Structure 1
Amino acid sequence: MPETRSCQAHALKLACSNCNILEFCLPLGLTGEEVAQLDSLIMQRVKVKKDAALYRACDPLRFLYAVRIGFFKTDVLSLDGREQVTGFQMPGDMLGLDAVNSGLYTCNAFALEDSEVCAIHFDHLEKLAQELPSLQHNLNKIFSREIVRDHDMLMLLGNMNSDERLAAFLLNLSQRLNMRGYSSKEFVLKMRREEIGSYLGLRLETICRGIAHLRDHALVEVSGREVKILDMDRLKHLVAGCHRFS
C-alpha cells in the first residue's frame, strides 16, 4: 500500500519547467537546475472541487498554493457571520501568503470552480530561498504584488463611486486574463454578483444597477456571467474619472 501511494504521489507531481503558467509563478527567471530544486518542493497537485475549502482561517501554515487551474476567492467572516470577500485568484496567483506572518491562515480560500493547485511546503521553500537569491527575489516580488493589490483596492474603495468601482473590477479582470493569454474583451465571471458586491463594498442591488448603467451606455454587455467589453477606451476613461454617467 505505501508503494502504491508513493506511485500515486509521483504521478501527481508537476515539473515547473513544463507548466503553462511559469511566467507568473515562483520559477520565473530561475535556471533549469534551480527550477528542478523548486520542483522537488511541490508535494503534489491538489484538486479542489467547486465550493470546497482549500484552507480555512486559523489553520496552521504548512503550504503555499500556486493556482494552476481554476478560480478561487478568499474571504473573512465578521463577528456577526457576514462574509467579506478579500480577493479573487486565478492561474499563476499564490494562495496562503497571509499566513507567513503569524503561521496561521487569516482568511478562508474557496474554489469558485473545479480547480487545481500546486502545494509547496513553506518551511522547505524558505530554506531553499536562502540558498537561491533568484528564488528569494521572486518571493519578494510576489509579496510586493500583493501589497500593490491591497493599495489599489484601498484606492478603489476610497476614491471611486459605485459605477467606477464596478468598471475598475471588470477592467482589472480583463487585464489579468489577457496577461494569461485569454481574451481581454470576452470572459466569464466565476464569482456571483453578491461576491463581487462584497469585494467592492457594494450592495447587490447597486451591482445590478451598475451593470445596467454600463450596458445602457454601451460600455459593457453582461448576460448572466458572460461579459463582453464593448468600448475598452471609454471604460478606462470611466475608471480614470474622465467620464461620468449623466
Structure 2
Amino acid sequence: MYVIDFTKIKVSCENCNLHELCLPRGLDKAELDKLDSIVTRTQPLHRGDILFRCGDSFSSIFTVRTGCIKLTTSSAQGEEQIIGFYLPGEIVGLDGIEKGVHCCTAEALDTSSLCAIPFDNLTNICRQMPNLNEEMFRVMGREISHENQLLLTVTKKHAEGRIATFLLSLSRRYKQLGYSEMEFRLAMSRSEIGNYLGLTFETVSRTMSKLQKQGMISINHKYITIEDMDALKEICSEQDCTPALNKTASS
C-alpha cells in the first residue's frame, strides 16, 4: 500500500482547492489545522498502480486530490466487477471500516495523488469536532445513496438510460470541481464503463455512437462534449433513471 508522506510538497487542508468538497467542508481554521495534522500525502500513482487490495488491513481512508480511482470487487469465479469511479474531492477506503480489512481493490485509472487520513486518529478528533463528525456521516450517507442509485440504474432495461445517467453524473461532478460540465475527459475505457453499468463493450460503443448521431453528445477519442443536456435528462426521465448517480450495467 502506498502511504508515503511527501512533506516537501505538502499543501494544507486550508489551502487545498478541494476543501469545500472534502471532509474539511464547514470547519473553522483551528479545526482545519487539527485535521491537517493527521493527514499525509501519498506517493503519486500511475495508471494500473494499486492503492490497496481486497484483503489488505484497513488503517486509513483516502481523499482523491488529482486523477481518478476505480474501486473493484471480485465474484466467486474471480471476475472483476467495478463498483465505483472516484474523482478529486471524493473519498476511497470506507469499505474497510466494518471488518478492519478492505473488501475491494482501489486502482488508479490515470496519474493520481491522494491524501491519507488514519482512521483511528480521525475517529478521535471527530469526537472533539461535531462539524467533522457530521461531514463523516454525510460522506457515508452519500456512499449508501450511490449504491442504491447504482442498483436502480443497472436494473433499467435500456442501455441509453444507463449511459445518459453515467454521463450526467460525470458532468455534475466535474462542474463541482470548477471544470466544464459540457466537455470532459473519460479516464475510464469503454470496457470499464460497460463493466460498471452491466453492459458489454459493444453495447457501450454502439449506444454512445447512437447518442452522437442523435446530436446529444460529441466524441473525440476520450473526450466527451455534451451537446444537448436536456435531451440526456429526458432519456433518464423517460426510463426513470436518476441523474444524481454519484460514481459513476449485457444488453
TM-score under structure 2 length normalisation: 0.91
Q: Distance in 1 between matches of 2:151 and 2:207?
A: 20
- Please state how far the C-alpha of 1:230 moved relative to its aligned partner: 0.8
Instruction: Give, in angstroms, the shift of residue 13 of structure 1.
Output: 3.1
Contact kept, 8 Å, 1:12 with 1:45, in 2: the verdict is no
How big is each residue's C-alpha offset from its partner over 1:158-195, in whole Å with a ceiling of 9 and x where there is no partner? Answer: 23511110111011101110111111111110001000
Supply the distance in 1 between the matched residues of 2:183 and 2:55 (Cα, whole angstroms): 37
**Match of residue 246 from structure 2:** none
- 2:157 counterpart of 1:179: no
**Counterpart position of 2:54:** 57
Match of residue 247 from structure 2: none
- Report the counterpart of residue 99 of structure 1 in structure 2: 96
The structure 2 residue matched to 1:194, chosen from 191, 194, 206, is 191
Residue 188 of structure 2 aligns to a residue whose secondary structure is: coil
Aligned match of 2:79: 82
* CA distance in structure 2 between the partners assigned to 1:150 and 1:234 by the alignment: 25
Matched, 1:241 2:238: yes
Moved more, 217-226 or 15-24: 217-226
3-state SS of paired residue (1:172): helix
Letter in 1 for 2:80: E
Residue 32 (structure 1) aligned with residue 29 (structure 2): yes
Matched, 1:13 2:13: no
TM-score, normalised relative to structure 1? 0.92
Q: Which of the numbers 139, 144, 158 marks the counterpart of 1:142?
A: 139
Task: Name the aligned partner's letter for residue 62 of structure 1.
Answer: S
Q: AA paired with 1:215?
A: Q
Report the identity percentage: 35
Q: Match of 2:117?
A: 120
Q: Is 1:210 matched with 2:207?
A: yes
Which is greater in Rg? 1
In 2, are the aligned partners of 1:13 and 1:45 still within 8 Å (CA)?
Answer: no
1:46 touches 1:118 (CA, 8 Å); kept in 2?
no
**Partners of 2:184 and 2:224 within 8 A in 1:** yes
Amino acid at match of 1:240: S
Shift of 1:83: 1.3
Displacement of 1:242: 6.9
Runs (4+) off by over 6 Å: none
| Counterpart residue number, 1:23 | 20
Residue 14 of structure 1, CA deviation: 2.7
- Inter-partner Cα distance in structure 2 for 1:86 and 1:154: 10
1:130 aligns with 2:130: no
Alpha-carbon distance change, 9 to 160 in structure 1, aligned in 2, over 3 angstroms: same
Whose helix fraction is larger, Structure 1's or Structure 2's?
Answer: 1
3-state DSSP class of the match of 2:14? Answer: helix
Q: Distance in 1 between matches of 2:192 and 2:133?
A: 34
Contact 1:14 1:39 in 2 (8 A): no
> Secondary structure at the residue paired with 1:46?
coil
| 2:103 counterpart letter in structure 1 | T
Q: 1:230 and 1:123, CA in 2 relative to 1: closer, same or farther beyond 3 A?
A: same
Q: RMSD of the TM alignment (CA)?
A: 1.6
Q: Is the 8 A contact 2:156 2:239 kept in 1?
A: no
Matched residue of 1:148: which SS? helix
